[in-house]
Structure 1
Amino acid sequence: MLKMELFGESLKQIGCFQFSGVPCSYLAPMINYAINTNSFIMSNNEGDAVAIASGISLANYKKSFGVVLMQNSGLSNALSPLTSLNYTFEIPILGFVSLRGERDDMGNNTDEPQHELLGIITDKLLRTCDIAYDFLDSDFNEAEQQLQVAYDYLAKGKSYFFIVKNNTFEKCALNHDKNIFFEKKINTLQVKDSNSNFLPKRIEVLQHLSYFSKMNEIALFATTGKTGRELYEVEDLDNQLYMVGSMGCVSSLALGVTLQTSKKVIAIDGDSALLMRLGALSTNAYYASLHNKGNFCHILLDNESHDSTGGQFNLSPNVNFAEVAYFCGYEKVFIISSFEELEQALCFFKNRNTGGAILIYVKILKGSKEKLGRPKVTPKQVASRMANFLSKD
């Protein structure tokens, strides 16, 4: 069996020393090792973990790579970012996925019934997603050679996954003496003014954000759909990334970047997208506060609809996003009722040198720019130039 302390050193040698994921008993030694070495980001679902690891890779472009850990049941949850973020933008990550539901010599499931199908299709899912993979060997010398193969893929911009069988690793005790929590640094939650008549168009808000970010060299990540498309039409800039697919993952991607840089980072989200992965709020809040850089800003544009798919209703009217973010641990929440207030909130973000996550909530009109085009720049080009922008930290 592999001793995690030795295997961890081998991972460091190929630039893989920052982990995100969701716990699995088969991967407990890896997760415990990462927690003990202060290199683990606990995610609430596997898709968010993939996006966080991708942000780590993007910010350290081809120098070091994010590592994602998950049970094979969670691989299904991660398919969206794996296929539309990592593959499309060519952002490589290293993955370890457990093989729950492994078969015995007679072809029978040796695990719980919920793992039966995933035990058969785990490798097939990776193959279908065009992700190179191997079954991790429990012999250290063999595993080291496998890591070199993985590194060759990562260096070429391709993700690589290891499928991990039970008892591949020796046990690694979790240091329970570590106090990972802290008193929340929440300062302000503005009371929502239901009488506010401020209801701008999305593109009007994006014009302000694009100009402000350009003037202050802030990395700007826009959620998928019409938000990214409208931001592109405002002005195509090297400090902007337009998500395609990976709905709900923009703040997790931005968080992964935030933890690697001193640059200011803004994630522009949509209400429908955030509802899809609402658990990201607690991850964003905790790790932004833990790193205490004051450089993570989450902007939510809420038009109470699935605007990019025809304007169907969503469940946003039933959700007070400001309070949800507040009670998830965001340090400061701004509810915007004028462009002057938006400018004040952005200036607050720009001028802070410490602190946790902030949320800027803007209620906007339904609808979008007529004859809205699509970015002419490819996702790979967008990722490459964003990495170059971040490298000038």
Structure 2
Amino acid sequence: MDTKQFGEELKQSGFAFYTGVPCSFLKNLINYAINDCEYVGATNEGDALAIASGAYLAGKHPVVLMQNSGLANAVSPLVSLNYTFRIPLLGFVSLRGEPGIPDEPQHELMGQITTRLLDLMEVSWAYLSSDIAEAKDQIQQAIQVIQQNRPFFFVVKKGIFQEEILRTQELKPASNPFKQRKNASDQLPRRYEALATIQSLTDNNTVQLATTGKTGRELYEIKDIAGNFYMVGSMGCISSIGLGLALSKKDKDIIVIDGDGALLMRMGSLATNGYYNPPNMLHILLDNNAHDSTGGQKTVSDNIDFIEITAACGYTKSIYVHNLEQLKSSIMEWKKEKNLTFLHLKISPGSKKDLARPHIKPYEVKDRLRLFLKSGTSSQ
């Protein structure tokens, strides 16, 4: 099938934002996306789904591309982000290891279970036809599923797409980052106090994305507003959602509130964030050296220099903040200057007693945020 013609059909249906991880079966569609659409290259397939979900929150119709071996990497966000929040997207997954077709040994099992895995995750799918007329009809079938707030995946066999030559890609050299390392003792405020400080600076132009666990629950208890997004599940995906949202909604201030356990789980996302470098994104790490929501087990964050890592990944500013006053002043400075910025604040372990869970359902949080991003008002 003519790859460009198929891509243009997708574009006419509103699908012009792509993200994913390369596969040889999909290389021609990926090349088309890089050449003619907006494409964000992710470090892994789970991050790609989160980036696409952020773009969806901003009102776009995202496409995710992956090899079927990477479908295993995407299980967590598919079942706990896209399913739970009812976030739809269009996916393309290759069928490496198709039974009866010689392939590399690492694809053998996944080739046998790819479609069964999609079925288990309640993801609608179809084998993509190589006939352009049939493929056009399949796109419309996919749209019907997506309109029901459900993902739809095309399973792509070998040789479906005609050659699409990749144009020369321009590299984005990183500028000299600004780094401010630890130079004083830590105040170690409670997470609730840090969140209250962050919340006090919000306005109708701000979106706050809180990582899974008690971070989102405490932010909800401080003040529930339409510009807040409370992650459940999909641990480690919050900054990738922020990236997709920041790239797609450049007129909004996107504040990502992360935890050390979550960030350590998907540190590759830092490289993607730094490369695409949205100036309207602020990434705040509240680091208590613990998995607080599961009983306080220690993380390895004490051994990690997040300031050096984020600077090396391309963040424009990486700042260690020692107390709530510095946290507040750094947020205010970011709002004025607008550079991709990372703030690292050490906090004390533990959480607010008798902490409630949000009374609003995850998909209601999603619907409310999309309406806020469309209307620009945060009235409750």
Q: Show the 5 A alignment for 1:232-271.
A: 232-261=220-249, 262-271=251-260
Q: TM (normalized to structure 2)?
A: 0.96
**SS of 1:29 mapped into structure 2:** helix
**SS of 1:233 mapped into structure 2:** helix
What is the CA-CA distance between 1:370 and the residue it aligns to?
Answer: 0.9
**Aligned pair 1:377/2:360, yes or no?**
yes
What is the CA-CA distance between 1:191 and the residue it aligns to?
Answer: 2.1
Q: Show the 5 A alignment for 1:211-226.
A: 211-213=200-202, 215=203, 217-226=205-214
What is the CA-CA distance between 1:270 and the residue it aligns to?
Answer: 0.4
Give the counterpart of 1:80 among 76, 84, 87: 76
Give the counterpart of 1:116 among 108, 113, 135: 108
Asked if structure 1 preserves the Cα contact closer than 8 Å seen for 2:46 and 2:77, the reply is yes
Query: Percent identity among equivalent residues?
Result: 47
What is the CA-CA distance between 1:131 and the residue it aligns to?
Answer: 0.7
Q: Deviations over 1:294-322 (max 9, x none)?
A: 21111101111111110011111110111
Q: Show the 5 A alignment for 1:353-364.
A: 353=338, 355=339, 357-364=340-347
Q: Deviations over 1:69-113 (max 9, x none)?
A: 000000000011101111110110100000000112xxxx52111
Please name the residue that 2:329 is paired with. Answer: 344
Please name the residue that 1:157 is paired with. Answer: 149
Asked if structure 2 preserves the Cα contact closer than 8 Å seen for 1:24 and 1:98, the reply is yes
What is the CA-CA distance between 1:216 and the residue it aligns to?
Answer: 5.2
Please name the residue that 1:190 is paired with. Answer: 180
Q: Deviations over 1:142-188 (max 9, x none)?
A: 00000000011112211100000000001111112x32x23323341
Between the aligned partners of 1:257 and 1:96, the Cα distance in structure 2 is: 21
Between the aligned partners of 1:192 and 1:285, the Cα distance in structure 2 is: 21
Q: Deviations over 1:1-28 (max 9, x none)?
A: x111101111012211110000000000
Asked if structure 1 preserves the Cα contact closer than 8 Å seen for 2:82 and 2:151, the reply is yes
Q: Deviations over 1:208-230 (max 9, x none)?
A: 111212x3531000000010011
Asked if structure 1 preserves the Cα contact closer than 8 Å seen for 2:181 and 2:307, the reply is no
Between the aligned partners of 1:366 and 1:186, the Cα distance in structure 2 is: 34
Report the residue type matching 1:208 in the other structure. T
**Aligned pair 1:387/2:375, yes or no?**
no
Report the residue type matching 2:308 in the other structure. E
* Unaligned ranges ≥5, structure 2: none
Report the residue type matching 1:297 in the other structure. L
Between the aligned partners of 1:311 and 1:339, the Cα distance in structure 2 is: 23
Report the residue type matching 1:359 in the other structure. F
Please name the residue that 2:93 is paired with. Answer: 97
**SS of 2:82 mapped into structure 1:** helix
**SS of 2:73 mapped into structure 1:** coil
**SS of 1:20 mapped into structure 2:** strand
Give the counterpart of 1:305 among 277, 281, 290: 290
Asked if structure 1 preserves the Cα contact closer than 8 Å seen for 2:177 and 2:315, the reply is no
Please name the residue that 1:24 is paired with. Answer: 23
Between the aligned partners of 1:207 and 1:272, the Cα distance in structure 2 is: 21
Between the aligned partners of 1:327 and 1:7, the Cα distance in structure 2 is: 38
Report the residue type matching 2:152 in the other structure. Y
Please name the residue that 1:142 is paired with. Answer: 134
Q: Deviations over 1:310-359 (max 9, x none)?
A: 00111111101111101001000121112221111111121125x4x210
Report the residue type matching 2:175 in the other structure. K
Give the counterpart of 1:277 among 266, 283, 289: 266
* Unaligned ranges ≥5, structure 1: none
Q: Show the 5 A alignment for 1:201-220.
A: 201-213=190-202, 215=203, 217-220=205-208
**SS of 2:356 mapped into structure 1:** coil
What is the CA-CA distance between 1:247 and the residue it aligns to?
Answer: 0.2
What is the CA-CA distance between 1:38 and the residue it aligns to?
Answer: 4.7
Report the residue type matching 1:205 in the other structure. A
Between the aligned partners of 1:265 and 1:110, the Cα distance in structure 2 is: 47
Asked if structure 1 preserves the Cα contact closer than 8 Å seen for 2:186 and 2:346, the reply is no
Between the aligned partners of 1:388 and 1:211, the Cα distance in structure 2 is: 22
Please name the residue that 2:61 is paired with. Answer: 65
Asked if structure 1 preserves the Cα contact closer than 8 Å seen for 2:207 and 2:227, the reply is yes
Paired residue total: 375
Asked if structure 2 preserves the Cα contact closer than 8 Å seen for 1:186 and 1:330, the reply is no
What is the CA-CA distance between 1:392 and the residue it aligns to?
Answer: 2.7
Please name the residue that 1:295 is paired with. Answer: 280
Asked if structure 1 preserves the Cα contact closer than 8 Å seen for 2:182 and 2:322, the reply is no
**SS of 2:236 mapped into structure 1:** coil
